[in-house]
């Protein structure tokens, strides 16, 4: 009996690539990626694992939704600004602005004169309007870069006076002292781990002092027998005072009364404030510089500023964040706990009706992302058996909760109400 060569039944690559659905996939993720997947599925057809008629369906199922390997996730951890999840979620206005800036745009062009314009005029104007006390403003690519630029321009080869208790590690092994020393500045440590006085700063200041640095301990708290010197008491020491407030709060926030903000810090006498854009401000990753116009101009004219400048996408998203509606971060901070409880009960009830061991429980959320250490926020969560933690991470979309007392808690503080249905469906899609 003659045996038919199975390879004769394998659809040719050009035939598969001509299928309309595959053509659309090529436009979405690129021809090379599609051809790679087609080759893999063709081999599975040769091996008899996949029927020839199912090849196109298998190819489409194996292709990613986008050309990036990044995947959107539902943040049900109860940490509003989760560093490992990219910190702040952008507002719809900021996302729309990214689309506007994706093509050719007047980021550094004056449409009236036809000549070169100041880069990021709109974003800088929006930042200045948000913090009127700042005589000058600038934006670099992250908070650490803002501090590095200040240290390089103001203190390279000189000393930075800094309290020992503020020599923090900012995550992933990076430490403020090492960051500052990499600029060529020397550190003059004052005080002890838990206590520092104004006299310590006064005694340390001399001809080699570039500036006094005040660092907000944004990811830890020291309690007990402690003392620190506020900015208002440092401003009269005869040298510039640079304050790294970290979390990017531009004005006082009623929910976070102890968190330093740019407006108040400048009003208390800081010459320069540095902060991050992707934390409590709720915008894209960026380093904000606000303060004395002369100092900010000096920093902007330093050669290092060119290496740290932000791209048009960041400028667009930052301006939209500053001018647009409330960000997801602001909305999460302002959420009424009773509304969270109602949502949790509704989701848990729908799941329980489908046989899932789900209950609504009270929860405590945190700001995270190097902001408001020690502050917890009233919240509500859907409580599931512990095994759901791994199952939900493997879902589509992945859902990240947290495990507490052998239960998987899906905290709703950082979950938009419009995502409740997706959250419920993700749980129902888990194998029982």
Domain ranges of the chain: 6-62, 74-84+331-428, 92-325
* Residue 347: closest CA among 261, 255, 428, 248: 428
Q: CATH topology for 92-325?
A: 3.40.640
Burial class (CB in 10 A: 0-12, 13-18, 19+), 20: exposed
Overall average pLDDT of the 63-70 stretch: 93
Answer whether residue 2 shows pLDDT above 60. no
pLDDT band at 1 (very low <50, low <70, confident <90, very high): very low
Q: Is the pTM above the cut of 0.85?
A: yes
CATH of the structural domain 74-84+331-428, one choice from 3.40.920.10, 3.30.70.3280, 3.90.1150.180, 3.30.70.260: 3.90.1150.180
Mind giving me the DSSP string for 319-334?
Answer: HHHHHSS--HHHHHHH
CA 203, 258, 323, 316 torsion-angle sign: positive
Largest CA distance in the chain: 100
Overall average pLDDT of the 2-21 stretch: 81
Q: Express each pLDDT in 117-126 by its tens digit.
A: 999 999 999 9
Q: Specify the pLDDT at position 221.
A: 77
pLDDT band at 6 (very low <50, low <70, confident <90, very high): low
Q: Specify the pLDDT at position 370.
A: 76
Residue ranges of E strands in 124-203? 136-140, 159-163, 169-171, 174-175, 186-190
H or E stretch including 14?
Answer: helix 13-17
- For the chain, what is the mean pLDDT? 94
Lowest mean pLDDT among 67-76, 127-136, 158-167, 371-380: 371-380
């Amino acid at each position: 009996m003659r045996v038919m060569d199975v390879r004769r039944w394998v659809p040719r690559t050009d035939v598969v690539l001509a299928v309309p659905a595959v053509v659309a996939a090529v436009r979405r993720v690129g021809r090379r990626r599609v051809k790679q997947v087609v080759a893999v599925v063709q081999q599975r057809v040769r091996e008899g694992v996949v029927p020839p008629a199912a090849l196109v369906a298998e190819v489409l199922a194996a292709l990613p939704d986008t050309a990036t390997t990044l995947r959107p996730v539902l943040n049900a951890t109860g940490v509003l600004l989760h560093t490992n999840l990219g910190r702040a979620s952008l507002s719809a206005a900021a996302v729309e602005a990214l689309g506007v800036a994706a093509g050719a745009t007047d980021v550094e062009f004056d449409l009236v004169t036809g000549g070169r314009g100041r880069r990021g005029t709109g974003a800088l104007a929006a930042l200045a309007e948000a913090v009127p006390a700042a005589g000058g403003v600038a934006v670099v690519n992250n908070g650490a870069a803002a501090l590095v630029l200040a240290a390089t321009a103001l203190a390279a080869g000189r000393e930075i006076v800094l309290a020992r208790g503020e020599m923090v590690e900012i995550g992933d092994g990076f430490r403020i002292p090492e960051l500052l020393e990499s600029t060529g500045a020397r550190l003059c440590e004052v005080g002890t781990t838990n206590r520092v006085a104004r006299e310590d700063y006064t005694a340390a200041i001399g001809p080699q002092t570039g500036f006094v640095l005040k660092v907000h301990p944004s990811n830890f708290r020291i309690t007990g027998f402690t003392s620190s010197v506020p900015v208002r008491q440092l401003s009269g020491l005869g040298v510039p005072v640079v304050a790294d407030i970290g979390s990017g709060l531009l004005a006082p926030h009623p929910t976070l009364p102890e968190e330093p903000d740019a407006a108040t810090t400048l009003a208390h006498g800081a010459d320069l404030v540095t902060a991050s854009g992707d934390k409590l401000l709720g915008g894209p990753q960026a380093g904000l510089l606000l303060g004395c116009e002369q100092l900010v101009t000096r920093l902007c004219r330093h050669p290092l500023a060119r290496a740290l400048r932000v791209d048009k996408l960041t400028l667009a998203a930052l301006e939209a964040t500053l001018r647009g509606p409330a960000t997801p971060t602001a909305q999460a901070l302002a959420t009424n706990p009773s509304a969270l409880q109602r949502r949790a009960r509704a989701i848990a009830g729908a799941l329980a009706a489908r046989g899932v061991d789900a209950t609504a429980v009270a929860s405590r959320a945190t700001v995270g992302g190097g902001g408001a250490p020690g502050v917890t926020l009233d919240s509500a969560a859907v409580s599931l058996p512990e095994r759901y933690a791994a199952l939900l991470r493997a879902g589509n979309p992945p859902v990240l909760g947290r495990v507490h007392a052998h239960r998987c808690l899906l905290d709703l503080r950082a979950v938009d109400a419009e995502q409740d249905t997706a959250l419920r469906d993700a749980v129902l899609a888990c194998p029982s």
